[in-house]
Amino acid sequence: MTGPLTLPRVRLATLPTPLVPAPRLSEAAGVEIWLKRDDLTGLGVGGNKVRGLEYLLGDALARGCDHLVTGGGPASNWAMLAALAARLHGLAATLVCYGDPVPAVGNMALAGVAGATVRFTGEQDRTSVDRVVEEVAAELRAAGACPLALGRGGATPVGALGYATAAVELAGQLAAAGIGPATFWLATGSCGTQGGLHAGVAWQGLGRVVGVTVSRPAPECVERVTALARGAAQLLGVPAPTEPPTILDGHLGPAYGRRSPEGDAAAALVACTEGVFLDPVFAAKAMAGLLVAARRGEVTGPVVFLVSGGAPTLFTTP
């Protein structure tokens, strides 16, 4: 299957995902909120990474790759879904995790079910993953394999195409619901999702995108989102965004990959008002940021909040 401009793509997601009003949450927040249910993308337990994987895996298959090498933390939704997508299409998968070996629970257990090989870097520095991914890929090439090496989150211009093209889906849904320009709100980690959405929303003239950083310093996110949006726009053959991306800081909590009291409170509110669970690492902290901004009168509706999935981390995140 091909996407815009015949870009290689494989079908992994169940699309379109629902765009649903959140009236009780909106009343509590004091601003009109809609939920984009990308926790329902269908592959495995779903999640936002599935959209980018359609293009990344399509590119891998078009290049004749037979092995996918990527990684993240032991609880990484990205790594598990990447391994599952690779195995589904006949590629071997090796995942690189920072730190020392841990029990196979949550996403680690699911990656094992998918048949992934897992290597640990022995270093607590998350950037060690990217170095060891390249080392593993080099070993595989020397052995005659044809690997595709991807950094954490699949945050490349090709991966960002998933959300650049999702803007077309959103444009149709917003028009059907009678919604004008909106603010699109999401968690930002490796920056690929916001990079793609930043490009797509500008391309379709849908409004603006606000990312709440849950991993990297905001200035670094601005640079990464800008570069990824430009790269995705170039691949699509459309103008790159002219406005800089908006990144909010201050909602990380104790650390990346750890719960925050504010995030837990925001997630509980969404669960009790709309029956939707937010993962504690990404979406819960982004919702906390949205609620703070709404209560300060810093955001006006309509807001489209990206429910990005990550269900396994609900049971394993400290």
Of 103, 96, 108, 114, residue with least CA distance to 43: 114
Return d(Cα 97, Cα 51) in angstroms, integer.
22
Q: Which residues pair with 70 in a beta bridge?
A: 95
DSSP states of 159-223 as a string? HHHHHHHHHHHHHHHHHHHT--SEEEEEEESSSHHHHHHHHHHHHHT-EEEEEEESSS-HHHHHH
DSSP states of 53-66 as a string? HHHHHHHHHHTT--
Return d(Cα 172, Cα 179) in angstroms, integer.
10
Q: Does the active-site annotation cover 190? A: no
Return d(Cα 163, Cα 231) in angstroms, integer.
13
Of 164, 191, 302, 299, residue with least CA distance to 245: 191
Helices (H), the chain: 23-29, 49-62, 77-88, 107-113, 128-142, 157-177, 192-204, 218-236, 261-274, 283-295
Which listed residue (76, 128, 190, 215) is catalytic? 76
Query: Residues 313, 106: contact at Cβ < 8 Å?
Result: yes
Residue 290: both structure tokens together: 């949205």
| Cα distances (angstroms) measured from residue 26 to each of 59, 135, 276 | 40, 48, 14
Residues labelled as active-site residues: 76
